[in-house]
Amino acid sequence: MTAPDDTAARYRRPVPVLWWTGRRPYLLFMIREFSSVFVAWSVVYLLLLVRAVAAGPAAYRGFMELSASWWMLALNVAALALTLFHTITWFVVTPKAVAVRVLGVRLPAFMVAGPLYTAWIAVSAFVVWLLVR
Amino acid sequence: MSAEPAMRAAETAGESIVLRVSRYLPGRDAEPVPRDYEVPLREEWSVLDGLNHVKDVLDGSLAYRWSCRMGICGSCGMTVNGEPRLTCGTFLSEFAPGPVVVEPLRGFAVIRDLVVDIEPFLGKLASVTPWLVRNGAEPPPDAEFAQTPEQLGAYKQFSMCINCMLCYSACPVYALDEDFLGPAAIALAQRYNLDSRDMGAAARFDVLAAAGGVWDCTYVGECSAACPKGVDPAGAIQQYKLTAAMETVRRFLLPKGAR
Amino acid sequence: MSASTDVLIVGGGGAGLRAAIAVAETDPRLRVAIVSKVYPMRSHTVSAEGGAAGVIGIGDTLDEHAYDTVSGGDWLCDQEAVELFVREAPRELLRLEHWGCPWSREGDGRVAVRPFGGMKRLRTWFAADKTGFHLLHTLFQTSLSHPGVERYDEWFVTRLLVDDGRVRGVVAIDITTGRVETITARAVILTTGGCGKVFPFTTNAGIKTGDGMALAYRAGAPLKDMEFVQYHPTGLPFTGILITEAARAEGGWLLNKDGYRYLQDYDLGTPSPTPVLRSMELGPRDRLSQAFVHEVEKGRAVDSPYGPVVHLDLRHLGARKIDAKIPFVRELCRDYENIDPVTDLVPVRPVVHYMMGGVHTDIDGATPVQGLFAAGETACVSINGANRLGSNSLPELLVFGARAGVAAVEHCARAAPAGEPAALAADERRRIETLRRRENGRDSLAAVRTGMQRALEDGAGIYRSADSLLKAGETLRELQERYARLGVRDHSTTFNTELIALLELGNMLDVAETIVRCALLREESRGAHQRTDFPRRDDRRFLANSLVYRQDDGPGRVEYLPVRITRWPPAERVYGR
């Protein structure tokens, strides 16, 4: 007996909407992508600050009060955490994207990422110094 | 079936494990149906040995691809317990007490059972000019192009691709957009771009930097994790993004004649 | 429905791809098609590890390569073919270099060469220990640059259409759809590789089922020297996975259970800490595999769950050298044996590796059937004689693949376009359709295949005798009868691999018969063919290649063709002294 094969039929597995929840690497990837929203928020927040400073002491006070509200604090703590996460993921990626070869031998990842972390710490230290001096 | 003396030698305690194999025959099945087969659990048996046992003893109609059984021909990639793997290099004992769920590679259309359609890859591979381009510059007569071990080292890693398709299967971008060139094709393009003997980078740029090229990659990084040969296609793509960005700027700034 | 082409190549491995490129370069107006049962990059060329021999080194000469090949082949090689082969091999390897093959290099950028078994000089080019892989992918990717090369990937050829003594094309199954189609052609080149799967324990991939040999044999072309089956001395137990000869070339030792380098007891030289060419571990494969059998008989082998083994000792090479020169060996040992050659001894035993024999061809790959060519392991020119030297097979498939391609182009210029032999094609289509519909009884394909493999191992292994061969022949006849009654459980058309496996088994049974037949009639011991009842080489009777022709009933008819001796008269094979 011959099975009446429909040879043109190929089965395509549908991609579920929540495909990224099934595997840890996919989930981390989605968090990384999502974290860029918070990076953008940090920029917007900075712009709001600049606008408030430019508009005079009253506006600045209003901005500071807004910033002290519980939900704004929560938002900014989340933004800080996710921005840190975002930064680190990029620093992890950099040695993969930038293949530095010295005398024909590719530099190990830490030698490419190391300067990035060093620069990051230096800038942060400078900012802290500005704030506390 | 590959090692008959072994079959004689390895009659052990008679343990077994269940292979839960995805079956699909167009015209009969609307979608894949899992089917259980009990196969002997032997320490040295790969998942492929288990499938061969099914085909030889339990059900001859099972369709899957295999050949070298030593991880170099790239035929036997399947999804094993959710992960893209070469079944010849994945051992049953890893999954004891079972079941071992064997499905076709994800991201591809299924032709039958565990066999997927890789024709799209063949087309993508051919589109990236995966050969040495010399633009009419003749090779040295009766001599080789000199290439130092350092120059060889610059592209060697990307030349190790066995076209097993595990990277495509791990790539969510490819699953969502089949026009994406994908990890292996880009890594192989980069293999030639980085070869000191090659002059084809400009031609490949037009494909790699176009729609469906490197910019579609969102760097999930799972292609490199899935690669059984350490090729690191994700690295190849990110490196090329840098190259492509510089090249785009260069083309924008320089007048045509000076390129 | 039928398609047509000018040059049709059956098999997409190294020889087939090289032939296709040769056709495309020689006459771009010709149509060339590769029909292969697997995608080209899956072909077994991919598994070759150690290297490819070609004279480039200072102090090496073509004559020395030729002499090593002739003496390695126990004087059964066609010496004219060997001279041509060694002359063209370096040119072919250079072409591969020009196409981008990542050959391993010296510090100054020249191609590096390594020692190899039976070779008096360093002349084996290598790409670490994945030479075949790189060679195949380079050829495949280069073939993509020729738009004229058409491919039928995952098509299985079931019959050569031969009409009036001339080849007219093939009938093939499109595995994906199950359609049986005719592809007419003016010339057909067979490049399907060997038939290692007729044996139970082999380095060969599952696809190596002697298809091209069987196709040619049934089409009336003789097979040559089928009794010469190469056992590689170092395969991993259980899987049969190859551990390359390069492991010994880089300095590995073979030890018996007492840690003793036993090869010194078999007229292969005296041990020295570093490798000596044409000596000890760098002796020829036939002699090393035979030495293993004697060690087992003396009770000096190591017992393992998979029978006796010996040890390959690489520990003294150190991790750096192993990773630089033979990284795949380390990868395979780790993945398949759970050991690390840097610290552990590697268990190995002889394993069926290569067919010296094959479709009888001349130096242009031409067979006696007009328009039918063959190259690579499928063919027998013969440059390998009674025992192939390691690293001669990759240059062989390049040299003769290219020559067959060029010869096929020349044939097309002479041959008028042929019509389709419609009746033959229809017969074949009916045969396949009937087979696909035939119900299977209680017997099984796997049981017949296992029976065949056991018969060959027991009857036609490293050592054979009239008794063992007669018994194997008898078993094969019974298996042929069982085979004729086999059917399939899978009657579908989409990717029906059971039907393909059944057809492959038919091919293997025919090829197995020729091996046993030729081995029975060659009453001497030469190279890889060792008869316990005729332990000496007999140049008076058997300085000749055997040619076996298919008969409609009964075993094949065997004729002898005197070996072409030009410059190196038969002499003793000397290794290590």
* The domain defined by A18-97 carries CATH number 3.40.50.170: no
User: Are A97 and B238 an interchain contact pair (Cβ–Cβ within 8 Å)?
Assistant: yes
**Overall average pLDDT of the C505-522 stretch:** 98
Q: What is the pLDDT of residue B13?
A: 54
For C13, residues 6+ apart whose C-beta sits below 8 A from its C-beta are: C36, C40, C43, C44, C45, C136, C191, C192, C193, C376, C397
Residue B204 lies in domain: 119-258
Q: Give pLDDT, residue C1.
A: 55
CB pairs under 8 A between B and C: 191
d(CA C125, CA C110): 11
Confidence of residue B2 (pLDDT cuts 50, 70, 90): very low
How far apart are the C-alpha atoms of B54 and B17, rounded to whole Å?
12
Rounded-to-integer distance, Cα A14 and Cα B233, Å: 25
Q: Kindly report which listed range (A104-113, B123-132, C270-279, C499-508) carries the lowest average pLDDT score.
A: A104-113
Listed in order, strand segments (DSSP E) in B81-122 are: 83-86, 100-103, 110-112, 115-116
Phi-psi region of C572 (alpha: psi -120 to 50; beta: other; left: phi over 0): beta
Written as six digits, the tokens of C161 are 């259409």
> Do B234 and B184 touch, CB atoms closer than 8 A?
no
Q: What is the DSSP string of C514-547?
A: HHHHHHHH--S-BTTBEETTB-S--HHHHSEEEE
Is B233 found in the same domain as B130?
yes
Contact call for C491 and A7, based on CB within 8 A? no
Residue A96 or residue C258, greater confidence: C258
Helix, strand, coil tally for chain C in percent (to 5): 40, 20, 40
B200 and B94 within one domain = no
For C338-376, how does the pLDDT look when each residue is reduced to its tens digit (9 = 90+)?
A: 999 999 999 999 999 999 999 999 999 999 999 999 999
Residue C193 to residue C76: CA distance in whole angstroms? 21
What residue segments make up the domains of chain A, in order of their start?
18-97, 98-133
The residue of chain B nearest to residue A31, with distances taken between CA atoms, is B220
Mean residue pLDDT of chain A comes to 88
**Contact between chains at B239 and A33 (C-beta distance less than 8 A):** no
Q: Which chain A residues are closer than 8 Å to C491 by Cβ?
A: 1-3
Is B129 found in the same domain as B41? no
Consult the annotation and say whether C15 binds a ligand. yes
C492 annotated among ligand-binding-site residues: no
Helices C497-521 and C211-218: crossing angle, nearest 10°?
70
Subunits with 3+ Cβ pairs within 8 Å of C are A, B
Cβ atoms B104, B115 nearer than 8 A: yes
Q: Can you give the CATH number for the domain in which B191 is found?
A: 1.10.1060.10
Q: Verify that B137 and B37 share a domain, yes or no.
A: no
Q: What are the sequence ranges of the domains in chain C?
A: 1-46+131-228+356-544, 235-350
Q: Which residues of A109-121 are buried (b: 16+ CB within 10 A; e: fewer)?
A: eeebbeebeeeee
- The set of residues, in sequence order, having a beta carbon less than 8 Å from that of C91 and lying 6+ positions away, is B142
Please indicate whether, in this complex, the C-beta atoms of C445 and B60 are within 8 angstroms of each other: yes
Do B81 and B44 lie in a common domain?
Answer: yes
- The ipTM, to two decimals, is 0.95
Note if the bond before C279 is cis, omega within 30 degrees: no
How many angstroms separate the CA atoms of C226 and C382, rounded? 11
**B230 and B146 within one domain:** yes
What CA–CA distance (Å, rounded) separates C399 from C383? 11
- The residue written with tokens 């790239």 in the block is B74
CATH code matching the domain that covers C235-350, chosen among 3.90.700.10, 3.40.50.720, 3.30.70.380, 3.40.50.970: 3.90.700.10
Mutate to test the interface with B, among A96, A98, A103, A107 (most CBs of B within 10 A): A96
**Interface test with chain A among C492, C497, C498, C499, by most A beta carbons within 10 Å:** C492
pLDDT exceeds cutoff 90 at C381: yes
How far is the C-alpha of B75 from the C-alpha of C262, rounded, in Å?
39
Residue B199 and residue B85 share a domain: no
Q: Is C319 annotated as a binding residue?
A: no
pLDDT band at C106 (very low <50, low <70, confident <90, very high): very high
C96 Cβ contact list (under 8 Å, min separation 6): C103, C135, C138, C139, C398
Q: Where do the H-state alpha helices sit in C368-496?
A: 393-414, 422-437, 445-459, 466-485
| Mean pLDDT, residues A40-67 | 94
Q: Which chain C residues contact residue A2 at CB under 8 A?
A: 436-437, 491-493
What is d(CA C459, CA B187) in angstroms, rounded to the nearest whole number? 49
Helix (H) or strand (E) holding C33: strand C32-36
Mean pLDDT of C445-450: 97
CB-side neighbour CA atoms (13 Å) of C431: 15
Q: What is the mean pLDDT of residues C466-471?
A: 98
Query: Quick one: C544 exposed, middle or buried, by C-beta within 10 A (0-12, 13-18, 19+)?
Result: middle
The reply to whether C14 sits in an annotated binding site is yes
Which of B68, B93, B116 terminates a domain? The answer is B116
Q: C373, C376, C383: which is closest to C406 by C-alpha? A: C373
Report the C-alpha gap between C537 and C38 in whole angstroms.
41
Which CATH number covers residue B10? 3.10.20.30
**Predicted pLDDT at A8:** 64
Q: What percent of chain C has pLDDT over 70?
A: 99
Phi, then psi, of B113 in degrees rounded to 5: 45, -105
Cβ neighbours around A66 below 10 Å, total = 12
Domains in chain B, number: 2
Q: Is C37 helix (H, G, I), strand (E, B) or coil?
A: coil
- By annotation, the residues of C acting in catalysis are 285
Which fold, C1-46+131-228+356-544? FAD/NAD(P)-binding domain (3.50.50)
User: H helices of C129-175, where?
Assistant: 131-143
The pLDDT score that the predictor gives to residue C332 is: 95
Task: Please tell me the distance from the alpha carbon of residue B141 to that of residue B143, in angstroms, as a whole number.
Answer: 5
Asked if B150 reaches chain A (Cβ–Cβ under 8 Å), the answer is: yes
- pLDDT at position B173: 95
